[in-house]
């Protein structure tokens, strides 16, 4: 059977780094509160003239370079984002042009913080079905553009950035010993739309709007649903939680990550953490974490990775892959 394996990773973070202390004279908050409640210490914010597509192009280019594969050989680009440059065209087509691709196809996918997991599942399905051989999957966000800077419950949590992985088709046996994506598990439940949403949009206000979140309720759903989806994906892959080498979670809150690891009986040494330096970069957080850890040489061929995320919708899911 065909499997999608990761050939390369890349990421880009905007130059401007903002420490927690930056918020202290603007809001009733403190570095101490943000650190202890979320694990976040700093985040990157895009420059005024820097757009989501700019971040995505840089991350995509880095992944192509890491893989040693030129852009002309790509069949498709998928960009997971909730903060596109424009209503249309898609960020993905802008990335396609920016990378110098003249062929193939490109589209955006929107599942908020679960966007990258959804995009990986999409790319995996296309590769296994023979629709594409090489797909560049990017998560790119500029959440700083949809923050309400007077809301201390949200604006301290998010950051900007982009990460990318290059998936390539390979022939495999069809067993859990194969390299590549072994299983995916996607879920959503629209009855929870009011827990986490943006209060604007094309067909409602005609504005981009600002992010609104009932953080403590989202927190409870996250702790319960993330371990559940990870276990389901592992079951589908025919693997047990003790066979997991690395958990690569969505980086929203250190306490959610710790609770999920506990429920999966994984020690924190097996968890990739970037939340302290990046904050929550929504769909970019998992590919950023993958790329940072890969650049540090932390993954070895044959190791089992689980990525999981939850976000607005609610939408959540996970991917199990062998590096």
CB of 189 to ligand ACO, least distance (A): 14
Catalytic annotation present for 250: yes
Catalytic annotation present for 231: no
CB of 122 to ligand ACO, least distance (A): 18
Nearer to ligand ACO, 99 or 156 (CB): 156
Pick the catalytic residue from 122, 253, 280, 294: 280
Nearer to ligand ACO, 94 or 112 (CB): 112
Nearer to ligand ACO, 164 or 275 (CB): 275
Closest CA to 226 of 205, 254, 203, 249: 249
When CB distances to ligand ACO are compared, the closest residue is 311
Catalytic annotation present for 216: no
The label of the residue with tokens 């051989």 reads 133
Judged by the rule CB under 6 A, the positions of this chain that interact with ligand ACO are 29, 33-34, 37-38, 112-113, 152-153, 156, 196, 215-216, 218-219, 222, 252-253, 256, 280, 282, 310-312
CA 241, CA 285: separation in Å to the nearest integer? 22
CB 47 within 8 A of CB 76: no
Edge-to-edge strands, sheet with 134-142: 2-12, 160-171, 134-142, 76-80, 105-109
Pick the catalytic residue from 113, 155, 253, 294: 113
CB of 120 to ligand ACO, least distance (A): 17
Residue 171 β-bridge partners: 2
Name every residue whose Cβ is closer than 8 Å to that of residue 53 and which is 6 or more positions away in sequence.
85, 91, 94, 95, 98, 140
181 CA to centre of own chain: 16
CB 104 within 8 A of CB 75: yes
Nearer to ligand ACO, 81 or 253 (CB): 253
CB of 195 to ligand ACO, least distance (A): 9
Q: Give the active site residues.
A: 113, 250, 280
């Amino acid at each position: 059977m065909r499997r999608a394996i990761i050939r390369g990773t890349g990421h880009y973070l905007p130059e401007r780094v903002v420490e927690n202390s930056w918020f202290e004279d603007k809001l009733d908050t403190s570095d101490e509160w943000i650190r202890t409640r979320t694990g976040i210490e700093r985040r990157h914010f895009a420059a005024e003239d820097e757009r989501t597509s700019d971040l995505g192009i840089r991350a995509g280019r880095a992944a192509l370079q890491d893989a040693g594969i030129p852009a002309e050989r790509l069949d498709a680009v998928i960009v997971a984002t909730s903060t596109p440059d424009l209503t249309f065209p898609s960020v993905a087509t802008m990335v396609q042009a920016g990378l110098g691709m003249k062929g193939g196809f490109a589209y955006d996918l929107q599942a908020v913080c679960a966007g990258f997991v959804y995009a990986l599942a999409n790319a995996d399905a296309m590769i296994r079905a023979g629709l594409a051989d090489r797909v560049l999957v990017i998560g790119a966000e500029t959440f700083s553009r949809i923050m309400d800077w007077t809301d201390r419950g949200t604006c301290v949590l998010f950051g900007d950035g982009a990460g990318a992985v290059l998936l390539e088709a390979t022939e495999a046996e069809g067993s859990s010993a194969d390299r590549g994506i072994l299983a995916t598990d996607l879920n959503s439940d629209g009855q929870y739309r009011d827990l986490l949403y943006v209060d604007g949009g094309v067909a409602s206000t005609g504005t981009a709007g600002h992010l609104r979140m009932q953080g403590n309720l989202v927190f409870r759903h996250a702790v319960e649903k993330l371990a559940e989806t990870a276990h389901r994906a592992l079951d589908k892959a025919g693997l047990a939680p003790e066979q997991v080498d690395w958990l690569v979670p969505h980086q929203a809150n250190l306490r959610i990550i710790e609770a999920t690891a506990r429920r999966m009986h994984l020690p924190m040494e097996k968890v990739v953490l970037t939340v302290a330096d990046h904050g929550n970069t929504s769909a970019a957080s998992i590919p950023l974490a993958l790329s940072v850890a890969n650049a540090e040489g932390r993954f070895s061929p044959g190791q089992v990775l689980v990525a999981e995320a939850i976000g607005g919708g609610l939408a959540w899911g996970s991917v199990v892959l062998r590096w």
